[in-house]
Structure formats: structure tokens, C-alpha cells
Amino acid sequence: MMRPRIVIVGAGFAGYRTARTLARAARGRADITLLNPTDYFLYLPLLPQVAAGILEPRRVTVSLSGTLREVRPVLGEAEHVDLDARTVHYTNPEGDKGTLGYDRLVLAAGSVNKLLPIPGVAEHAHGFRGLPEALYLRDHLTRQVELASSGADAAERTARCTFVVVGAGYTGTEVAAQGQLFTDALIRDHPLRRGMRPRWLLLDVASRVLPELDERLSRTADRVLRERGVEVRMGTSVKEATRDGVLLTDGEFVDTRTLAWCVGVRPDPLAESLGLPMERGRLLVEPTLQVPGRPEVFACGDAAAVPDLERPGEYTPMTAQHAWRQGKVAGQNVAASLGEGGGRAGLRPYRHKDMGFVVDLGGVQAAANPLGVHLSGPAAGAVARGYHLAAMPGNRVRVAADWLLDAVLPRQDVQLGLVRSWSVPLDTASPELARVPGDHKRESAASGPGAATEEDVNAPDDADGTDDKNAYGKNADDRNEGNDVKDVKDVKDVNKATGGSGEKHPSPEDDSQSITSPTPEVGRHSGGESGSRVGQSSPEEGSQSIDSPTPEVGRHGSGPATARKDGTAGNEPVPNPVERGDARDAKGDQ
């Protein structure tokens, strides 16, 4: 007798908890497959601490294969679900197609950044939903302070030290709180930077910070932020984003090179593609988390509109707490539907009871109300960190060790430059994955600074770099600095200047260091101006070039670098961008 096949799409809070619960219930009597773009579960609540340099990136990731021994992880992104044939079609990270058959399906595809029809936001802002975005923000903040400290223009220095966060919910509040402490530390620890003053703005159209939480928690967060110098502007948002800054709804124009978009999330597009009844982009389900008319399909997490039995007529909000709890119920009900634990009669509805909330405000400050008891200051900070340690399914000792080290040692103020601005666009269906060269061939919309469009690809390079500007401001601060090959106008010139043949080199063993480079200590991102590397198509391609004049800076997939007047450098796409087949259509609940 064949064992039942269970496929779970997404390894976020809901998907991971479903897989863990099913593995314990099935005890080897079912084939459980977990489809996810990454090989880890991401603990999102601690992501602001990664951006602030408190935690190392791997601390907030939990290995799927290491913690779910009875579950088969499959790397890939779901593209299509055939409900009648009971199959899930996906694409793996190298562009290969695959199909998974199922007897039970759990959709836990999660959510992506919410976009609003505000001019310039998709091009000039970055979200905060995945590890690549957190790594980019950490590098970006460090880079802005470093460039400001070496700049001669006072207005430019001020703009680089101005940081705008839109959205005063959980994520936006914690990003502003942690980011302000981080930039202050970058300046405080360097005598030559003491005249610099970072300016942080937290914007929201709501009337108060953390509008979804208890008003006492909101007052605590508001007070802590204002005492630190953060400009909390409620009832104000962004009217337009430009290269030079943002125009606010109150008419003020703020010169800035940083716009963090934390206004909320929207369900993953995979849910809408099923053609089933929806509720504001979320898949309608019964209280048992089953899809009406499809008893073999379950949905939970941000992708599902789950009836709130504690508030009749409403649906549970899209939060990690609900996703985690729904995952447990989904796992139990899937097992019950297969005859484990009482059969179909054993299916139980999802109910919840709020036990309180915690908001980490950085340092020893936090706001919390466990079991309805309002706390603030160090006591709330201890509760918040204790809660996170208890909630994490792994890495607890490593996280605690990082917290201890951060308390006694200064943070490392270095930028690795591994994640570039163009690779983490705001408008993406996969925020947990950094965009790679070739993605723009399938995503026609320009999203995020440096994202290659047809106009960009066909545009000639500007030798002095005056036209290529970063979406955060006048200069591509997060692009290759000094990474220009003079007087190179097209691919033929690239080949001539670098000695390349212009032929494609698909070797997967392509190394990322340069033996002819004067600066071999730093890698170069693929797709740029490297002669024989132009048009490289290997899925495993490295980010450095053997003939790179500046391998100390990672090469972009967006094209060759051009120098700027202020010493930074931008990357214009080459006429023949690299061709790769990485799918970015659907994702896990992260």
C-alpha cells in the first residue's frame, strides 16, 4: 500500500509548523514534502536586529533538513497548482522545472511587500521581508555614514544621514528603533564623525505608532523613539519618491538616500492564481483550514482568510503569531483527514486567544503586555528576548551568545557589499531571494534601484556617470566604487579593453577571483563589464571576473560600472545581459 503524499508549499511560520506537526503525527507513515525557495525557515521578528548588526544573518535561519528529519525539502518556487490533477508545478533555483503529486496539499505561501500607487515608491524604496533586504539595509546604512563622513558638500552629507521609514507597525517601528541606535553608534565611536547628526523619520497615516496594538504599548514605543531623537510623524506619509528624496503629504521635501518601506504585506500571488474564492487577496478557508469544495486542500498563514471565531464576521490578521498557531492546527487536521487521530471527525477549527505582545525597541528598551500586564523598559526587554528565545525552533544558544557579545563589544561597522540595491526590489514575489542576473527578462516592471529594464539595457553607457543615479539619491552609493573601465561604450569595446572574446562561458566552475586584478580581495558580481564574462549563462556563475580591474567590489548583473563625479560608481546594463532561468513567481510564508 502506497503511503499518502503530502505537499506543503512554503516554509514560513505556517508551513514550517505544519511540517513539524505532521512529521510527529505521521511517524513515517506518510511522504511529506516541503517546497520552499530556500533551505531554511526565517524567524522574521529578529530581522531588524540583523539589519542593525546585532545578530549574524544565519542566527535567524533554521535549517529545514536539520530540524525536520522526516520531511523531504525541495528547493523551488511554486508556479502553478493543478487542483484537478493534484499536482504542483515548480521551478528550482537553477531554472529546471519539476512536478509534485499530492494526496493532501497545504498552501502556506505567505506574503510579499504591499505596494501603494505612490509615484516613485516601487523604484526608489526597499522593503523588509527577507534576509537579503536586511543585509542590504545594514550595508546601506553603514555606507551612507561612511560616504557622508568623507564628503565635502554639506547638503549631500545631510541627505546621506537622513533615513526615512514608512509604516509605524511592528516592522517599521522596530527598524526605526534599531536603525537609529546603529547609526548613532557608527558616529559615536569615531571622533572624526562627531559633527554628523543622523536624522530618522518614522511616517504613518495612522493616528499613533503601533495602531494595531494596545494604546499603552503605543505610548511606550512613541516615547522611546522621541527620546532618542526619531521624528515620529503620524498622519503623514510619502506623496512621491524621487532620486533626491521624498515629498511628504504635508508638503515638505526631505532630502534622503534611504527609504525603507514597511507599510505592511499582501498575500502571495500564488493564492490568487488558483481561481478559488478569495477575500482581499487571501484564499477563503473553513475554520478547519480546508478549502471549500476541495477537502484535500488546506491553507494557512498569510495566504489564507481564516474565520476569526473569537470575532464573528472577521478574519484573523496576517501575523506571525496566527501563522504559527494555524500551522499546528493544519498539521493536526491533515493527519486526521488521513485517518490519524480520529479520522475526519477529528478535524478541529482554529481558535486563538491573545496572550500578549512584545515590541523590541533596541538596547534594553521594549514594550510588552504578557497576559495583559503592561511592561516597559528593561523588564519588557527581558520578556521580549525571553519570548523570542522560546519561540525560535532552533539557534537559541547562538542568538543568546550574539546578544551577550553585543552587550560587551562594539558592533562591526563594515559593509560587505554582497547584496546590491537592484537585487532587492520592492515589487517582488520572492523577498526571501535576492534577484540574480536575468530576472528582469521575466519581470518587465522596473522595481527597485538598478533593476534592468529594456530602456536601461539599450541605453549607452555614460562615461562620466552623471546620468546613472541611484534611486535613493543623486549617487549610486551602493554600487561599485571606482569600478569603471574608461571609454568603453559597448560590448565590442569591452572585449577590446579587457581582452575578452565576447563569447559566452557557461562553465559552472567559473571562479570569482581575478589573477590579473590589482585588488583581488573583493569579488565582482556577474553580468558586468568583464569582456569574456559578458553574457555568461551558468546558473552557478561566480560574482567576480578573472579580468576585473576592480575585483574588490562585487559585480552587478545590471551592467558595467561608470565613474561618478563624487567618486561613486554606477552600473548600466550591457547590451547583452546574462541569460538565466530563475523563477520568482511564488514563495514561502516568510
- What is the arithmetic mean of pLDDT over 285-303? 97
pLDDT of residue 301: 97
Distance (Å, rounded) from C-alpha 179 to C-alpha 142?
10
Architecture of 131-263+356-436 per CATH?
3-Layer(bba) Sandwich (3.50)
Mean pLDDT lowest for which of 217-231, 245-259, 403-417?
A: 403-417
pLDDT of residue 588: 40
Domain edges within the chain? 5-37+76-113+267-337, 131-263+356-436
Residue whose grid cell is 502571495 = 268
pLDDT of residue 28: 86
Residue whose grid cell is 560587505 = 416
Asked whether residue 440 carries a pLDDT value surpassing 80, the answer given is no
Distance (Å, rounded) from C-alpha 364 to C-alpha 287?
40
Distance (Å, rounded) from C-alpha 222 to C-alpha 173?
9
pLDDT of residue 355: 86
pLDDT of residue 445: 35
- DSSP 3-state assignment of 364? coil
Asked whether residue 585 carries a pLDDT value surpassing 60, the answer given is no
Amino acid letter, 583:
A
Digit-coded pLDDT (tens) for 472-489: 333 333 333 333 333 333
Would you put residue 100 in left (φ > 0), alpha (ψ -120 to 50) or beta? beta
- What is the arithmetic mean of pLDDT over 284-298? 97
359 neighbors 203 (Cβ within 8 angstroms): no
DSSP string, 384-430: HHHHHHHH-SS-HHHHHHHHHHHHHS---------S-GGGS-SS-S-
List 143's β-bridge partners, or say none. Answer: none
Residue 190 pLDDT level (bands cut at 50, 70, 90): confident
HSE, CB side, 13 Å, CA atoms: give it for residue 316: 32
- What is the arithmetic mean of pLDDT over 238-250? 97
Distance (Å) of CA 129 to CA 104, 171, 424, 495: 28, 9, 10, 39
List 232's β-bridge partners, or say none. Answer: 202
C-alpha grid cell, residue 347: 478535524
pLDDT of residue 425: 93
Mean pLDDT lowest for which of 40-49, 225-234, 573-582?
A: 573-582
248 neighbors 237 (Cβ within 8 angstroms): yes
Cβ atoms within 10 A of the Cβ of 191, count?
6
- What is the arithmetic mean of pLDDT over 236-263? 97
Non-local CB neighbours of 116 within 8 Å, separated by 6+ positions: 263
Mean pLDDT lowest for which of 165-169, 385-389, 557-561?
A: 557-561
Asked whether residue 567 carries a pLDDT value surpassing 80, the answer given is no
Non-local CB neighbours of 391 within 8 Å, separated by 6+ positions: 43, 45, 324
- Residue 448 DSSP class: S
Digit-coded pLDDT (tens) for 136-177: 999 999 999 999 999 889 999 999 999 999 999 999 999 999
Residue 343 pLDDT level (bands cut at 50, 70, 90): low
Non-local CB neighbours of 482 within 8 Å, separated by 6+ positions: 550, 553, 563, 567, 569
CATH 3.40.50.150 for the 5-37+76-113+267-337 domain, yes or no: no
HSE, CB side, 13 Å, CA atoms: give it for residue 73: 21
Non-local CB neighbours of 544 within 8 Å, separated by 6+ positions: 511, 512, 513, 514, 523, 524, 525, 551, 554, 555
Single out the residue of 368, 427, 564, 577 nearest to residue 483, CA to CA.
Answer: 564
Share of the chain above pLDDT 70, in %: 73
User: Would the CATH topology of 5-37+76-113+267-337 be identical to that of 131-263+356-436?
Assistant: yes
Residue 507 has phi, psi (to 5 degrees) of -60, 125
Asked whether residue 501 carries a pLDDT value surpassing 50, the answer given is no
List 358's β-bridge partners, or say none. Answer: 368
Residue 507 pLDDT level (bands cut at 50, 70, 90): very low
C-alpha grid cell, residue 552: 574588490
List 147's β-bridge partners, or say none. Answer: none
- DSSP 3-state assignment of 578? coil
Mean pLDDT lowest for which of 299-303, 384-388, 395-399, 486-490?
A: 486-490
HSE, CB side, 13 Å, CA atoms: give it for residue 41: 30
Distance (Å, rounded) from C-alpha 506 to C-alpha 174?
43
- DSSP 3-state assignment of 447? coil
Asked whether residue 110 carries a pLDDT value surpassing 80, the answer given is yes
Asked whether residue 280 carries a pLDDT value surpassing 60, the answer given is yes
Residue 265, H or E segment: strand 265-267
